C-alpha cells in the first residue's frame, strides 16, 4: 500500500531553485533515506512532507487514515506538570482510556445487585470481553514495558523518569521528543539527522527499533553506518531533482558509481562518433562522388544535437595531511588525570597511553566528558589533577567542533592567512582551493557561511599546521557524505597519531586502530575498530542476559515454594468473591489462547522463511526475520503474564477451598 506520494514538487528561496520536479512514492513498511550534498534540499523536502512549509508547486498526498510524525511536533510541547515518564505515556492516551473503562466495568461486575440480574450481567461481560480484546490487540498489557524500553533506549534510566521535563537540558528534551514520537508509532515517521543529537549507544537502539518498525520511515542522515543499517531504499537529490535506488546506502554508492561510469562511457562513445562523422563530412562534402553520403552524415549530426557531458559527482575535497616532522614512539602518557569544571570531576582518574601511528576513537555517552578530555589534552582547559606527558617532537593540532575560533567579520582568506602569515597568498589560496573555496569565494565573510563551510576552513588550517599528533572533536559534523569520504581518505594516508571524538561509526570503523571508552569510572582502551569493540560488548551483554534469565527463574521457583509453604500456614479471613475467581480463570484462559495463537504464528513465520528463494528480494527474508523477532518478544511477554495470572488464580482457588 502507498503511504505517501508526491507529484512534481518545486520550492525556491530568494529566487534560487532548491527543489524542482520532485516525485517520490513511499510504500507501507518502507524505510527511505534521503541523501545528497549539503544544500541539496533534503531538509526542505522533509519539512514539506511534514507540512511545516508548502511547496511552490506540486502536491503531497497521504493515504487515508495514515498519520505522520516528526520530532518538532513534540519538542517544547510538554506541560508544566509533565514528568519524563508521563510525557511519553501521553502517546498511549487512547489506550489508557480503554484501560480506565475496563476498571470501571470490573467494578460494575463486582456489584452483587448486577450479579443477580443475569441478563444485564452477561451483556456487561460480553462488552467487557470485546473491550479487553481491543485493549490487548492495541498492546495495552505491555504499555509500561514499551515506555520503559523506549526511555531506556533513549538514555533515560529509571531514576530520571520522575524528573520534570522543564528541568532537562536542550539535548535531553530533543531525545525525549524523539522518545514520544517513537511511542506514538505514526504510520509515517520523519527523522531529520537523528545522529546529530544521539550518542552511539542510543543510535544502536534507534537502528534496532526502526528495523522492527511496523510503519514507514523517511530519514535524512549523513551517518553512513546508520543508513546501511536502516534504509531499504535511497532517494538521491542532486541539482534539484531526485532519483530512487533500491537497497541500503552502500548498495546505492556502488550503483551510483556504476551509473556514472556508464554515462561517461556513453558520452565518450557518442563524442567519438560525432568526431568521426564530422571528419567524414569535411573530407567528402566537396566531392561530387561522395556528396550525397556526406549530406546523409550531416543529417545524422544534426539529429545528434549538442552533446551534453554527463553529470559528475559534486566537486570533492582534495585533503592531504602531512607531518612537519615525525614524533617519538611514545606520544602521550596520562596518569591519574581528573577532568571537569569548577573543581568537579566528570570521571574517576584517567590512565592511558598512546604510541606513534595509533588512531584512537573516544566513545562514551553524551555529557561524560569526551570534549572536555580533548580540550584538556590540547591545553585549552587545566586538569583538576594528574599528569599529561607528551613525548619528544610531538606537534599538536587541535580541531574543535564548536567553530568559536572563527571571527565572523573576517573573510575566508583572512581567517586562514592570519594564522599562517609567513605563507604567500598563492599558497593560501591553493590550500583553500583544496577545500572548494575558489575565486571570489575566498572573499566571503565568515558570518555568512554554513556550518559545513566553517568546518572546511578549520580543516584547512589544520592541514597547513602540519602537526604530527591530531586531536579531533567531531571532525565530520556539518560535512556532507562526499566531504566525509575525502576526510577519511586523507586521514588514512596520514602517518602521524590521531585521538578523535566522533558519533560517525562509519568514520570510526574506517579510521580507528583502537577504541577508548570513557565512562564515569575512567577510560578503558580496546584494540580494534568500532565493529570489533561492538562484537565484544555484544558477547558480554548476551552472557549477562543469560545469567539474569537464570537468576529470574531461580527467584521465580523460590517464590513458588514460599507461596506453597505459606498456603499451609495461613487461614484466610475473608471469602473470595466468585466474580474475582471467574475473572482470574478467564484471564488465564485468555492468555493461554493468546499463547497458542502466537505459537501458531511463529511456526508459520519460520515456515515462510524456508520458502524464500534466491530470486526473491532480500527484503522479503528481512521481513519474515523481523516478524519472527516480534513474535518471540510478544510470546515471552505473554508467558510472563500467564505465569503471574496462574499464580494469582491458584492462590484464589486455595483461599476459596480453605473457606
Residue 657 has pLDDT above 90, yes or no: no
- Provide the grid cell at 430: 591553493
**Domain for residue 215, yes or no?**
no
From the list 162, 516, 250, 512, the residue with the least C-alpha distance to 370 is: 516
Mean pLDDT to the nearest integer, 349-369: 94
| Integer Cα distance of 104 and 97 in angstroms | 11
Say if residue 575's pLDDT is above 60.
Answer: no
**pLDDT (0 to 100) of residue 187:** 95
Indicate the pLDDT class of residue 648, thresholds 50, 70 and 90: confident
Find the distance separating the first CA and the last CA of the chain, reported in whole Å: 59
Return the pLDDT at 24.
94
Residues 361 and 491 in one domain: yes
Helix (H, G, I), strand (E, B) or coil at 656: helix
Examine the domain organization and report whether 297 and 431 are in the same domain: no
- pLDDT confidence of residue 159: 93
Confidence class of residue 635 from pLDDT cuts 50, 70 and 90?
Answer: confident
Query: Residue 635: inside a domain, yes or no?
Result: yes
Mean pLDDT to the nearest integer, 390-407: 91
Distance between CA atoms of residues 326 and 357, nearest Å:
10
Name residue, grid cell 516480534.
Answer: 630
Task: Identify the band that residue 495 occupies on the pLDDT scale cut at 50, 70 and 90.
Answer: very high
pLDDT over 90 percentage in the chain: 48
Contact assessment for residue 332 and residue 389, using Cβ atoms and an 8 Å cutoff: yes
What whole-number percentage of the chain has pLDDT above 70? Answer: 92
Which CB contacts under 8 angstroms, 24+ apart, belong to 153-160?
153/179, 153/202, 153/205, 153/206, 153/209, 154/178, 154/179, 154/182, 154/202, 154/205, 155/199, 155/201, 155/202, 155/365, 155/366, 156/84, 160/84
Instruction: Provide the pLDDT for residue 614.
Output: 40
Long-range contacts (CB closer than 8 Å, 24 or more residues apart) made by 633-636: 634/598, 635/595, 635/598, 635/599, 635/602
Domain contains 619: yes
C-alpha cell, 8: 512534481
pLDDT at 40: 85
- Tell me which of 45 and 109 has the higher pLDDT: 45
Strand 233-238, strand 31-35: pairing: parallel
pLDDT band per the 50, 70, 90 thresholds, residue 260:
confident
**Which is more confident, 171 or 626?**
171
pLDDT tier, 570 (very low <50, low <70, confident <90, very high otherwise): very low
Helix (H) / strand (E) containing 235? strand 233-238
Task: Label residue 574 by pLDDT band (50, 70, 90).
Answer: very low
- For the cut 80, the answer to whether the pLDDT of residue 577 exceeds it is no
Among the residue ranges 28-42, 234-248, 430-444, 620-634, the one predicted with the least confidence is: 620-634
Q: Are residues 358 and 435 in the same domain?
A: yes
Higher pLDDT, 285 or 35: 35
| 115-116-121 Cα angle (round to 5) | 45
| pLDDT computed for residue 228 by the predictor | 93
How would residue 469 be classed by pLDDT, with cut points 50, 70 and 90? very high
* Position 199 pLDDT exceeds 60: yes
In the three-class reduction of DSSP (H, G, I as helix; E, B as strand; rest coil), residue 336 is classed as strand
Asked if residue 475 and residue 380 are part of one domain, the reply reads yes
Pick from 201, 256, 283: nearest CA to 534: 201
Same domain, 300 and 368: no
pLDDT digits (tens, 9 = 90+) for 402-424: 877 889 999 999 999 999 999 99
Same domain as 336, residue 299 = no
Evaluate if residue 564 carries a pLDDT over 60.
no
Task: Convert 591-612 to b/e letters by CB count within 10 Å (16 or more is b).
Answer: beebbeebeebbeebeeeeeeb
DSSP string, 356-403: TT-EEEEE--TTSSHHHHHHHHTTSS--SEEEEEE-TT--EEEE-SS-
Q: What is the mean pLDDT of residues 605-616?
A: 58
pLDDT at 132 over 70: yes
pLDDT of the residue at 460: 95
Q: Are residues 369 and 289 in the same domain?
A: no
Parent domain of 372:
330-528
Alpha-carbon span 94 to 100, nearest angstrom: 10
* Residue 39 backbone phi and psi in degrees, to 5: 85, 5
Residues 441, 394, single domain; the answer is: yes
Residues 276, 391 within the same domain: no
| DSSP string over 503-553 | S-HHHHHHH-SEEEEEETTEEEEEES-HHHHHHHHHHHHHHHHHHHHHHHH
Please tell me the least confidently modeled range out of 13-22, 497-506, 623-632.
623-632
Give the total number of structural domains in the chain. 3
Q: What is the pLDDT of residue 89?
A: 93
- pLDDT on residue 618: 45
Residue 537, pLDDT score = 84
CB-side exposure of 589: number of CA atoms within 13 Å?
A: 7
Please indicate, yes or no, whether residues 336 and 481 belong to a single structural domain of this protein: yes
- Per residue in 210-246, pLDDT (tens digit) is 999 999 999 999 889 999 999 999 999 988 899 999 9
Look up residue 53 and give its DSSP letter. Answer: S
Mean pLDDT of 290-295: 80
In a domain, 405, yes or no: yes
- Pairing mode of beta strands 469-473, 497-501: parallel
CATH for 395: 3.40.50.300
In a domain, 550, yes or no: no
Per-residue model confidence as pLDDT tens digits over 477-491: 888 888 888 999 999
496 contacts 469 by C-beta, under 8 angstroms: yes
Tell me how far the alpha carbon of residue 312 is from its chain's centroid. Answer: 29
What DSSP letter does each residue of 597-611 carry, written as one string? HHHHHHHHHHHHHHH
pLDDT of residue 645: 78
Distance CA 440, CA 421 (A): 20
Is it the case that residue 19 has pLDDT exceeding 70? yes
The answer, yes or no, to whether residue 566 has pLDDT greater than 60, is no
Report the range of poorest mean pLDDT among 111-120, 200-209, 345-354.
Answer: 111-120
Task: State the pLDDT at residue 312.
Answer: 59
Least confident of 151-155, 224-228, 408-412, 593-597: 593-597
Would you say residue 469 lies in a domain? Answer: yes
Q: Are the C-beta atoms of residues 332 and 505 closer than 8 Å to each other? A: no
pLDDT for 397 beyond 60: yes
Rounded mean pLDDT, 512-520 = 95
What are 310's three cell numbers? 554527463
Q: Are strands 359-363 and 514-519 parallel, antiparallel or unpaired?
A: parallel
The alpha carbon of residue 18 and the mean position of all alpha carbons in its chain are separated, in whole angstroms, by 25
The mean pLDDT value for 459-482 works out to 92
| Whether the predicted pLDDT of 6 surpasses 90 | yes
pLDDT for position 640: 79
Average pLDDT over residues 345-358: 96
> Cα(576)–Cα(582) distance, rounded to whole angstroms?
10
Assigned domain for 444 exists? yes
pLDDT confidence tier of residue 621, bands split at 50, 70 and 90:
low
* pLDDT digits 0-9 by tens, 265-284: 888 888 888 888 888 888 88
Mark whether 519 and 602 lie in a shared domain: no
Domain annotation covers residue 106: no
Gap between the Cα atoms of 278 and 272, Å rounded: 10
Same domain flag for 407 and 512: yes
Amino acid at each position: 500500500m502507498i503511504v505517501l506520494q508526491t507529484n512534481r514538487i518545486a520550492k525556491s528561496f530568494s529566487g534560487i531553485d532548491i527543489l524542482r520536479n520532485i516525485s517520490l512514492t513511499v510504500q507501507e513498511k518502507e524505510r527511505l533515506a534521503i541523501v545528497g550534498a549539503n544544500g541539496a534540499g533534503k531538509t526542505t523536502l522533509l519539512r514539506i512532507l511534514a507540512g511545516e512549509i508548502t511547496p511552490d508547486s506540486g502536491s503531497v498526498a497521504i493515504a487515508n487514515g495514515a498519520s505522520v510524525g516528526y520530532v518538532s511536533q513534540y519538542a517544547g510541547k510538554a506541560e508544566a506538570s509533565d514528568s519524563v515518564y508521563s510525557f511519553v505515556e501521553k502517546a498511549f492516551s487512547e489506550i489508557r482510556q480503554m484501560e480506565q473503562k475496563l476498571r470501571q466495568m470490573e467494578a460494575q461486575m463486582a456489584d452483587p445487585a448486577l450479579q443477580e440480574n443475569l441478563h444485564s450481567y452477561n451483556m456487561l461481560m460480553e462488552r467487557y470481553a470485546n473491550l479487553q480484546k481491543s485493549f490487548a490487540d492495541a498492546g495495552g498489557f505491555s504499555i509500561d514495558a514499551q515506555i520503559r524500553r523506549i526511555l531506556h533506549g533513549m538514555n533515560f534510566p529509571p531514576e530520571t523518569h520522575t524528573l520534570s521535563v522543564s528541568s532537562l537540558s536542550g539535548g535531553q528534551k530533543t531525545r525525549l521528543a524523539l522518545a514520544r514520537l517513537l511511542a506514538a508509532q505514526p504510520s509515517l515517521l520523519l527523522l531529520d539527522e537523528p545522529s546529530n543529537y544521539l550518542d552511539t549507544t542510543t543510535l544502536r537502539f534507534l537502528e534496532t527499533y526502526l528495523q522492527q518498525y511496523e510503519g514507514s520511515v523517511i530519514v535524512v542522515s549523513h551517518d553512513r553506518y546508520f543508513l546501511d543499517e536502516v534504509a531499504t531504499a535511497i532517494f538521491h537529490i542532486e541539482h534539484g531533482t531526485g532519483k530512487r535506488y533500491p537497497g541500503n546506502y552502500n548498495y546505492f554508492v556502488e550503483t551510483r558509481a556504476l551509473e556514472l561510469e556508464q554515462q561517461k562511457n556513453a558520452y565518450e562513445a557518442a563524442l567519438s562518433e560525432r568526431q568521426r562523422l564530422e571528419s567524414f563530412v569535411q573530407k567528402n562534402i566537396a566531392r561530387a562522388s561522395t556528396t550525397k553520403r556526406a549530406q546523409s552524415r550531416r543529417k545524422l549530426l544534426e539529429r545528434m544535437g549538442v552533446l551534453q557531458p554527463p553529470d559528475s559527482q559534486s566537486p570533492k575535497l582534495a585533503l592531504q595531511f602531512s607531518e612537519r616532522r615525525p614524533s617519538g614512539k611514545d606520544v602521550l602518557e596520562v596518569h591519574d588525570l581528573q577532568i571537569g569544571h569548577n573543581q568537579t570531576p566528570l570521571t574517576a582518574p584517567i590512565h592511558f597511553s598512546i604510541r606513534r601511528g595509533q588512531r584512537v576513537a573516544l566513545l562514551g555517552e553524551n555529557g561524560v566528558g569526551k570534549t572536555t578530555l580533548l580540550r584538556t589534552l590540547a591545553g585549552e582547559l587545566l586538569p583538576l589533577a594528574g599528569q599529561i606527558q607528551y613525548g619528544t617532537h610531538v606537534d599538536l593540532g587541535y580541531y574543535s567542533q564548536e567553530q568559536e575560533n572563527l571571527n565572523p567579520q573576517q573573510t575566508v582568506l583572512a581567517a586562514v592567512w592570519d594564522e599562517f602569515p609567513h605563507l604567500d597568498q598563492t599558497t593560501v589560496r591553493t590550500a583553500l582551493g583544496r577545500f572548494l573555496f575558489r575565486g571570489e569565494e575566498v572573499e566571503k565573510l565568515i558570518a555568512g557561511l554554513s556550518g559545513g563551510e566553517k568546518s572546511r576552513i578549520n580543516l584547512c588550517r589544520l592541514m597547513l599546521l602540519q602537526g604530527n599528533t591530531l586531536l579531533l572533536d567531531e571532525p565530520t559534523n556539518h560535512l556532507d557524505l562526499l566531504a566525509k569520504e575525502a576526510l577519511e581518505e586523507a586521514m588514512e594516508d596520514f602517518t602521524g597519531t590521531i585521538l578523535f571524538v566522533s558519533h560517525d561509526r562509519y568514520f570510526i570503523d574506517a579510521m580507528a586502530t583502537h577504541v577508548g571508552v570513557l565512562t564515569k569510572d575512567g577510560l578503558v582502551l580496546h584494540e580494534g575498530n568500532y565493529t570489533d569493540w561492538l562484537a565484544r560488548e555484544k558477547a558480554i551483554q548476551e552472557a549477562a542476559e543469560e545469567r539474569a534469565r537464570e537468576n529470574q527463574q531461580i527467584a521465580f521457583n523460590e517464590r513458588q515454594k514460599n507461596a506453597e509453604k505459606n498456603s499451609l500456614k495461613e487461614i484466610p479471613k475473608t471469602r473470595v468473591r466468585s466474580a474475582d475467581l471467574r475473572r482470574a480463570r478467564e484471564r488465564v484462559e485468555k492468555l493461554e489462547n493468546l499463547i497458542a495463537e502466537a505459537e501458531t504464528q511463529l511456526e508459520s513465520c519460520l515456515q515462510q522463511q524456508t520458502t524464500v528463494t534466491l530470486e526473491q528480494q532480500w527484503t522479503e527474508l528481512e521481513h519474515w526475520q523481523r516478524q519472527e523477532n516480534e513474535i518471540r518478544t510478544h510470546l515471552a511477554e505473554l508467558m510472563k503474564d500467564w505465569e503471574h495470572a496462574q499464580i494469582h488464580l491458584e492462590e484464589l482457588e486455595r483461599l476459596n477451598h480453605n473457606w
